[in-house]
Amino acid sequence: MKTKLLIILCFGIFSANAQTTYDLDWYKDIGSNVDLTIDIGDTVRWTWTSGNHTVTSLEGSTETFDSGFLGPIGSTYSHTFTLEGTNPYYCVVHGAASMSGTITVQNPLGLEDETFTSFNMYPNPSNSVLNVELPQHITEGNVKVFSILGKEFLAKTFEATHSVELNVSNLAQGIYLVEVQSGGRSKTKQFVKF
């Protein structure tokens, strides 16, 4: 029961926090001119402006989505993207040469930098202790826990360690953001408290 509630909560938060909806016209011979770069939580809505089509993710896409065969003109299909990555797609009816594009999804919450390697967290989800494992080259900084709305709940400074233990037992159930800051850079990941 708790697992089902947690999944519903996660899905609801992702749906409720869609930041922007992007509208794309979808028609035969559009070519590959329907590429977008969006943020996690954004929605793309395709509107049929000719005939019958599909919007179908290609193999290798970060997320799998498929509108199924839709028509007539004016039909719409929407997908909210929740994972960082690239999502090539096409129309099954007309093929990738005639109708295709790529939705690139980025995480706006953390600064990506080749010199700032990602950190690991476990267990995630957790109900008592969250361990944050840091890369070897990060020797000092701080770890903070925020609500999805940006309210800070926990902060812990670290020095000369590669592991930080956070007591999350007093947090309410939900989704939180864990941010590691070091040397003017930061990286943020999601954590679920159950």
Q: Degrees (nearest 5) of the Cα angle 10, 40, 49?
A: 110
The overall pTM is greater than 0.85: no
Rounded CA separation 194/182 (Å): 28
What is the pLDDT confidence band of residue 6, given thresholds at 50, 70 and 90? very low
Q: Which two structure tokens, joined as six digits, stand for 116?
A: 């700032």
pLDDT of residue 117: 61
- CA 141, 142, 148, 150 torsion: positive or negative? negative
Half-sphere exposure of 67 (CA within 13 A, CB side): 25
Rounded CA separation 101/93 (Å): 15
Rounded CA separation 104/136 (Å): 30
Q: Please provide the CATH number assigned to the domain covering 120-193.
A: 2.60.40.3080
**Percentage of residues of the chain with pLDDT beyond 70:** 85
What is the pLDDT averaged over residues 112-138?
Answer: 80
pLDDT of residue 14: 43
What is the pLDDT confidence band of residue 182, given thresholds at 50, 70 and 90? confident
Q: Where in the chain is the domain with CATH 2.60.40.420?
A: 2-106
- Indicate the fold that domain 2-106 takes in CATH: Immunoglobulin-like (2.60.40)
pLDDT in tens, 132-148: 998 877 878 899 999 98
Coil, helix or strand at residue 5: helix
Residue 114 has pLDDT above 50, yes or no: no
What is the pLDDT averaged over residues 152-158?
Answer: 94
In DSSP terms, 152 is beta-bridged to 146
Q: Where in the chain is the domain with CATH 2.60.40.3080?
A: 120-193
